[in-house]
Chains A and B, each alone.
Chain A
Amino acid sequence: MKLFPTSLHLATLCLVTSLAPFAQAAVSADEAAKLKTELTPFGAEKAGNKAGTIPAWTGGYTTPMPGFVNGGKRGDPFAKEKPLYSVTAKNMAEHADKLTDGLQALLKKYPDTFRIDVYPTHRTAAAPQWVYDNTAKNATRAKVDNDKLTGAFGGIPFPIPKTGEEAMWNHTLRWRSPAWHVNFTGMQVTAAGKQVVTVLGSGDFQMPYYDKNGSADKFDGNFWNIRLINQGPPIRAGEGIVGRQNVDQDKTQVWVYLAGQRRTRKLPNGCCDTPTPASAGVSNFDQTDVFDGRMDRFDWKIIGKKEMLIPYNENRQLQRGIKDVLLAHHINPDDARYELHRVWVIEATLKAGQRHVQPKRRFYLDEDTWIAVLGDHWDARGQLWQMGFASPIVMPDVPATTSPQNFGFYDLISGAWYMGGMLNDQAEQFKASMNYADTTFTPEAMAGEGIR
């Protein structure tokens, strides 16, 4: 019996009694004014680095891609570029300060097949002006209180974060598009390198948090709506799931469609270190999208900002078929693109009295987009265990540089891994800015339209 067959990203939803009731204060108006001067509208350092290896941010990449049709394939604007250099197991020591522990472990574990091709850095992150305007407003009004977010709407909630928790909320509420549709494949690869399709899905997504016509006053806290209908694999055909994720995770709701009965049932909210069925149990609920869900089991600390090699502008990875892109133990290095970017390094340490199989975790958030692009997880013995990654895609039509559910996960001990939300074999790759009826994300609509 599979209880929660399709939970996918939704699955992020978790509920644990919260214990840390102190409010975070927003920044002053003076400090927020920097968003119009030395900082980008999202709070990154506008200037490039001294070495010239990171350029200044000049508004992001908004040039339309030739031949692109919304609802079609997404090309690679940097297809003609060649790697500046490659990091391999042999030369990794020279680049160690730019490599996460997880990437170093991969290089050591698969010295013959894994390498990191580093391309020129492009600071492509962009968003519409109204998102920037909302971000400026959020800077002085958003608060986190007892793991619940208030006062934020329509932009990055904490462009000038003071705590690790605030930075992680920026990741959770990162700009993607108000709504989008993807058909995708989730692939699990076993330790021995066998590939297993865990989900073939059709997903509709909406972020009421990014409703251009909405406002902080009217926002009811449901920031992310999702509807997934599964065409496969065997175990999940005909299943469906609808969910509404709330900034107050106690109010998050998920329903599953029960095939053969044409009705739905509300689900428990899976949480934290419980494995997600969608990844065939390889990754846990809070490792979806590198990190998602409740933060209240951990203390979150900003370690600082650092220049690191991270997956970026990964349109390259969308171009070939899944069978070419996935090797036995990792993504084909030929299809991956790494760049040097400044990242926020956020460390999570398990609070006293709390339990989690990964008591220490470190996340790397791209300064321009707030995407948690890489995440390392240690086990209770202090051994590096798992590594999550996202693959940000440039989408000038949105405009955004974002990761449309394509995230993955390496178990550095067992060798098993997972790649979710793959758009490679689809004719349509992230159709953005749809208009969904307000009935779309309801269990009743799913029950009414259910076929199987």
Chain B
Amino acid sequence: MKLNQTCNRSTQRLSTVAAAALLAALSAPQAQAFQIDTGNPDLKLSWDNTLKYGTAFRLKKQSDVLLDPNHDDGNRNFNRGLISNRIDLLTEADVQYGNFGARVSGSAWYDSVYNSDTDNTSAFTANALSVPYNQFTDATKKLHGRKGELLDAFVFGKFDLGGSKLTFRAGRHTLLWGESLFLGGNAIAGAQAAIDVSKALSVPNTPFKELGRPTNQLSSQLQFGPDLTIGAYYKFKADQLRLPGAGSYFSDTDFLGAGGERLWGPGFTRAPDIKGKDSGEGGVQARFHVAEFDVGLYAIRYHDFGPQLYIRPIQGQFAWVYPTGSVAYAASASTTIGPVNYAVEASVRRNVAFNSKGGLDFTGTADNSGNPLYAIGKSAHVNFSWLASVGQNWLAKEADFVGEVAWNRRLSVDKNESALDLISNGGNADYMSRDALKTRMVYEPKYRQALDGLDITVPVGFGVGLYGNSSLGGSQRQGVGDMSFGMTGAYLDIWRFSATLTHYFGRAGITKYDQTLKDRDFLSLQVRRTF
């Protein structure tokens, strides 16, 4: 039984997600705001729709190392060949009258692959209870195969208060602070919003505006002048990462995420997740300028977006538990020196949950606040990132080089130290370390007008754990990572397409110190346009 391998897999995903987040972070969104002429210059209306078609192919066959009964469904469900055949619609509408307005957006998708049977032939290792071994659970089918959802739905406005200015947003929206680019899980942004891991993996290069999960909150800022701004938000809803559904292509843990129903070994079934309360999450920030530096100070209280595992042997159940009540204090600074922008962010946190062995809950009374089974303590985090505009060289007339390095340290364990996942399963001599360091970067040369009306870019991305096995969700094992080779095109700035080859490297295995997707290299193709 490999209970202790499973926790917090979610945040490891951030590495892959980072690729998408990066694109998104710096990428202009694809939608053309279709301005509706209202005849009144104070009333602005826009509505636009972006249609995407994407398909993806698995390039390698299943590796025997990655066919553990609790970590094989996503692997066995897809033979080499087609893994996604998906159409996506994003619709957005904004209305603004004077200083006030509202925005609504939503998306819907259909993927024929998830509306068919799987390739799984292994009846005795399938974890699903509700359907036969060769079918996706309804939850996975819905999440990946046919779903529509509301994204943004909020009102906004601004007031001029003499020399200062107050702005607010109320309703479903995403709000991120700080300077992080890729490795937001280790940064302030990672304490503010859950992300759609599933979509990021399924639709490469999804703009971030579709990845950051909007949530019900009130956010506001008061700007006292050009050099000092105070901001605050309060959330009305606890959020969880949207993980790949159990049995979907990028799922490496068969009892985690939507459709995760059963844990093999004991054959335990899934109890309802223990989520955070819809209260107690919010933050304040101060932003100011010192010479050519942007400086920020932040304090945030939040509930963890990634889960820990509890096992209830008496009840024959397991549960995913979202720790609550973490507090982060952070500072950031950013400046530009010539063609490069540099930014650094640092935080110390208390009441954070460390990667823990699955907690054994004999009485069924453990929870995510007063009586946790996972290790809790203090941590320190630093992110350093850069954006570089690369001028003319032998490779291309222009290129972007963007990257980030993230470090974290387990400062102290204040509770349940014995739960720390210090030695991984089977005496593999894999230690969760006190310090961990990882990086991700993308180099993207650009070729404008490669053909008449056609601009091409060739992004090459790379992410890897540099040192240690993180005590917190965000870092990988040393030497485990992925790289991607892409080509994107824009025709007349209307049609966009991309082709991306993603390769996973590092030691294959099913623990969180391994590369669980080692046999999952894939090629994805996508085309989109806005109407």
Q: Inside 8 A of A214's CB, which chain B residues have their CB?
A: none
Q: Please tell me if the beta carbons of B30 and A234 are within 8 angstroms of each other in the complex.
A: yes
Name the one of B294, B448, B494 contacting A234, with C-beta atoms under 8 angstroms.
Answer: B494
Name the one of A14, A268, A437 contacting B340, with C-beta atoms under 8 angstroms.
Answer: A268
**Whole-angstrom distance between the alpha carbons of A231 and B209 in the complex?**
16
Given known contacts A1-B26, A414-B449, A15 and B338 CB-to-CB distance under 8 angstroms: yes
Q: Please tell me if the beta carbons of B448 and A444 are within 8 angstroms of each other in the complex.
A: no
Asked whether A211 is an interface residue with its Cβ less than 8 Å from the other chain, the reply is no
**Whole-angstrom distance between the alpha carbons of A194 and B452 in the complex?**
8
Q: Please tell me if the beta carbons of A271 and B338 are within 8 angstroms of each other in the complex.
A: yes
| Cβ contacts A to B, 24 pairs, < 8 Å | A194-B492, A230-B28, A231-B33, A234-B530, A237-B33, A261-B25, A261-B175, A261-B189, A262-B169, A265-B25, A265-B334, A266-B334, A271-B339, A272-B391, A275-B446, A280-B449, A282-B449, A414-B449, A444-B223, A445-B223, A447-B221, A448-B165, A451-B96, A452-B29
Asked whether A263 is an interface residue with its Cβ less than 8 Å from the other chain, the reply is yes
Q: Please tell me if the beta carbons of B337 and A15 are within 8 angstroms of each other in the complex.
A: yes
Name the one of B46, B387, B392 contacting A357, with C-beta atoms under 8 angstroms.
Answer: B392
Asked whether A151 is an interface residue with its Cβ less than 8 Å from the other chain, the reply is no
Q: Inside 8 A of B400's CB, which chain A residues have their CB?
A: 1, 3-4
Q: Please tell me if the beta carbons of B493 and A197 are within 8 angstroms of each other in the complex.
A: yes
Asked whether A403 is an interface residue with its Cβ less than 8 Å from the other chain, the reply is no
Q: Inside 8 A of A1's CB, which chain B residues have their CB?
A: 22-23, 26-27, 205, 400, 402, 442, 444, 457, 459, 488
Asked whether A196 is an interface residue with its Cβ less than 8 Å from the other chain, the reply is yes
Asked whether B35 is an interface residue with its Cβ less than 8 Å from the other chain, the reply is yes
Q: Please tell me if the beta carbons of A275 and B398 are within 8 angstroms of each other in the complex.
A: yes
Q: Please tell me if the beta carbons of B33 and A267 are within 8 angstroms of each other in the complex.
A: no
Taking the closest CB of chain B, its distance from the CB of A5, in whole angstroms, is: 4
Given known contacts A253-B336, A439-B225, A235 and B449 CB-to-CB distance under 8 angstroms: no
Q: Inside 8 A of B521's CB, which chain A residues have their CB?
A: none
List residues of A (394-452) whose CB comes within 8 Å of B's CBs: 414, 416, 427, 437-439, 441-445, 447-449, 451-452
Given known contacts A357-B392, A414-B449, A268 and B336 CB-to-CB distance under 8 angstroms: yes
Q: Please tell me if the beta carbons of B210 and A260 are within 8 angstroms of each other in the complex.
A: yes
Binds A, one of B57-65, B176-184, B241-249, B410-418: B176-184
1/0 contact string of B222-238 vs chain A (CB within 8 Å): 01011101010000000
Q: Inside 8 A of B175's CB, which chain A residues have their CB?
A: 261-263
Q: How large is the interface on B (under 10, 10 to 19, 20 to 34, 35 or more residues)?
A: 35 or more
**Whole-angstrom distance between the alpha carbons of A268 and B207 in the complex?**
21
Q: Inside 8 A of B92's CB, which chain A residues have their CB?
A: 452
Name the one of A190, A266, A444 contacting B453, with C-beta atoms under 8 angstroms.
Answer: A190
Asked whether B115 is an interface residue with its Cβ less than 8 Å from the other chain, the reply is no
Name the one of A4, A230, A262, A445 contacting B389, with C-beta atoms under 8 angstroms.
Answer: A4
**Whole-angstrom distance between the alpha carbons of A234 and B158 in the complex?**
27
**Whole-angstrom distance between the alpha carbons of A232 and B30 in the complex?**
9
Name the one of A235, A255, A439, A443 contacting B490, with C-beta atoms under 8 angstroms.
Answer: A235
Given known contacts A2-B27, A237-B31, A444-B229, A266 and B493 CB-to-CB distance under 8 angstroms: no
Q: Please tell me if the beta carbons of A261 and B212 are within 8 angstroms of each other in the complex.
A: yes
Q: Inside 8 A of B343's CB, which chain A residues have their CB?
A: 265-266
Taking the closest CB of chain A, its distance from the CB of B526, in whole angstroms, is: 14
**Whole-angstrom distance between the alpha carbons of A1 and B182 in the complex?**
13
Asked whether B305 is an interface residue with its Cβ less than 8 Å from the other chain, the reply is no
Who on chain A is nearest to B156 by CB?
A451
Q: Inside 8 A of A316's CB, which chain B residues have their CB?
A: none
List residues of A (9-32) whose CB comes within 8 Å of B's CBs: 14-16
Name the one of B35, B165, B448 contacting A282, with C-beta atoms under 8 angstroms.
Answer: B448
Who on chain A is nearest to B454 by CB?
A190
Asked whether B32 is an interface residue with its Cβ less than 8 Å from the other chain, the reply is yes
Q: Inside 8 A of A273's CB, which chain B residues have their CB?
A: 391-392
Asked whether B101 is an interface residue with its Cβ less than 8 Å from the other chain, the reply is yes
Who on chain B is nearest to A232 by CB?
B32
Q: Inside 8 A of B455's CB, which chain A residues have their CB?
A: 280-281
Asked whether B149 is an interface residue with its Cβ less than 8 Å from the other chain, the reply is no
Asked whether B80 is an interface residue with its Cβ less than 8 Å from the other chain, the reply is no
Asked whether A270 is an interface residue with its Cβ less than 8 Å from the other chain, the reply is yes
Taking the closest CB of chain B, its distance from the CB of A442, in whole angstroms, is: 5
A-B contacts at CB below 8 angstroms, number? 242
Q: Please tell me if the beta carbons of A274 and B341 are within 8 angstroms of each other in the complex.
A: no
Who on chain A is nearest to B154 by CB?
A451
Q: Which residues of A contact B (CB under 8 A)?
A: 1-6, 14-16, 190-192, 194, 196-198, 230-239, 250-251, 253-256, 258-263, 265-275, 280-282, 355, 357, 414, 416, 427, 437-439, 441-445, 447-449, 451-452
Who on chain B is nearest to A189 by CB?
B453
In addition to A194-B453, A262-B173, A272-B391, 17 A-B residue pairs with Cβ atoms within 8 Å of each other are: A14-B339, A194-B492, A198-B493, A234-B493, A238-B33, A258-B176, A260-B210, A261-B208, A261-B212, A263-B175, A263-B177, A269-B339, A269-B389, A442-B289, A444-B221, A445-B165, A448-B223
Q: Please tell me if the beta carbons of A268 and B338 are within 8 angstroms of each other in the complex.
A: yes
Asked whether B167 is an interface residue with its Cβ less than 8 Å from the other chain, the reply is yes
DSSP class of B's interface residues: helix, strand, loop or mixed?
strand
Name the one of B30, B387, B452, B494 contacting A265, with C-beta atoms under 8 angstroms.
Answer: B387
**Whole-angstrom distance between the alpha carbons of A234 and B341 in the complex?**
26
**Whole-angstrom distance between the alpha carbons of A197 and B442 in the complex?**
28
Taking the closest CB of chain A, its distance from the CB of B287, in whole angstroms, is: 5
**Whole-angstrom distance between the alpha carbons of A230 and B28 in the complex?**
10
Q: Inside 8 A of A263's CB, which chain B residues have their CB?
A: 175-178
Q: Please tell me if the beta carbons of A452 and B94 are within 8 angstroms of each other in the complex.
A: yes
Q: Please tell me if the beta carbons of B24 and A260 are within 8 angstroms of each other in the complex.
A: yes
1/0 contact string of B485-511 vs chain A (CB within 8 Å): 000101011101000000000000000
Asked whether B41 is an interface residue with its Cβ less than 8 Å from the other chain, the reply is yes
Who on chain B is nearest to A268 by CB?
B389
Q: Please tell me if the beta carbons of B30 and A235 are within 8 angstroms of each other in the complex.
A: yes
Who on chain A is nearest to B228 by CB?
A444
Q: Please tell me if the beta carbons of A438 and B339 are within 8 angstroms of each other in the complex.
A: no
Q: Inside 8 A of A449's CB, which chain B residues have their CB?
A: 156, 158, 167
Asked whether B202 is an interface residue with its Cβ less than 8 Å from the other chain, the reply is no
Asked whether B103 is an interface residue with its Cβ less than 8 Å from the other chain, the reply is yes
Q: Inside 8 A of B225's CB, which chain A residues have their CB?
A: 438-439
Asked whether B388 is an interface residue with its Cβ less than 8 Å from the other chain, the reply is yes
Name the one of A198, A237, A262, A441 contacting B176, with C-beta atoms under 8 angstroms.
Answer: A262
Q: Please tell me if the beta carbons of A274 and B389 are within 8 angstroms of each other in the complex.
A: yes
Q: Inside 8 A of A250's CB, which chain B residues have their CB?
A: 338
Q: Inside 8 A of A235's CB, which chain B residues have their CB?
A: 28, 30, 490, 493, 496
Q: Please tell me if the beta carbons of B226 and A442 are within 8 angstroms of each other in the complex.
A: yes
**Whole-angstrom distance between the alpha carbons of A270 and B48 in the complex?**
31
**Whole-angstrom distance between the alpha carbons of A258 and B391 in the complex?**
23
Q: Please tell me if the beta carbons of B392 and A274 are within 8 angstroms of each other in the complex.
A: yes
List residues of B (86-107) whose CB comes within 8 Å of A's CBs: 92, 94, 96, 101, 103
Asked whether B147 is an interface residue with its Cβ less than 8 Å from the other chain, the reply is no
Who on chain A is nearest to B334 by CB?
A266
Name the one of B23, B103, B163, B488 contacting A452, with C-beta atoms under 8 angstroms.
Answer: B103
Asked whether B529 is an interface residue with its Cβ less than 8 Å from the other chain, the reply is yes
Given known contacts A1-B26, A427-B41, A265 and B341 CB-to-CB distance under 8 angstroms: yes
> Most B CB atoms within 10 A — which of A238, A269, A273, A275?
A238
Taking the closest CB of chain A, its distance from the CB of B346, in whole angstroms, is: 17
> Most B CB atoms within 10 A — which of A1, A190, A282?
A1
Q: Inside 8 A of A256's CB, which chain B residues have their CB?
A: 26
**Whole-angstrom distance between the alpha carbons of A357 and B398 in the complex?**
12
Asked whether B42 is an interface residue with its Cβ less than 8 Å from the other chain, the reply is no
Who on chain B is nearest to A256 by CB?
B26
Name the one of B48, B389, B494 contacting A237, with C-beta atoms under 8 angstroms.
Answer: B48
**Whole-angstrom distance between the alpha carbons of A416 and B454 in the complex?**
12
Q: Which 10 A-B pairs have the closest CB atoms?
A: A260-B209, A281-B448, A15-B338, A448-B167, A3-B400, A5-B28, A444-B229, A234-B32, A268-B389, A237-B33
Name the one of B28, B48, B388 contacting A239, with C-beta atoms under 8 angstroms.
Answer: B28
**Whole-angstrom distance between the alpha carbons of A202 and B294 in the complex?**
25
**Whole-angstrom distance between the alpha carbons of A2 and B496 in the complex?**
12
Name the one of B177, B391, B449 contacting A191, with C-beta atoms under 8 angstroms.
Answer: B449
Q: Inside 8 A of B35's CB, which chain A residues have their CB?
A: 231-232
Q: Inside 8 A of A260's CB, which chain B residues have their CB?
A: 24, 29, 174, 207-212
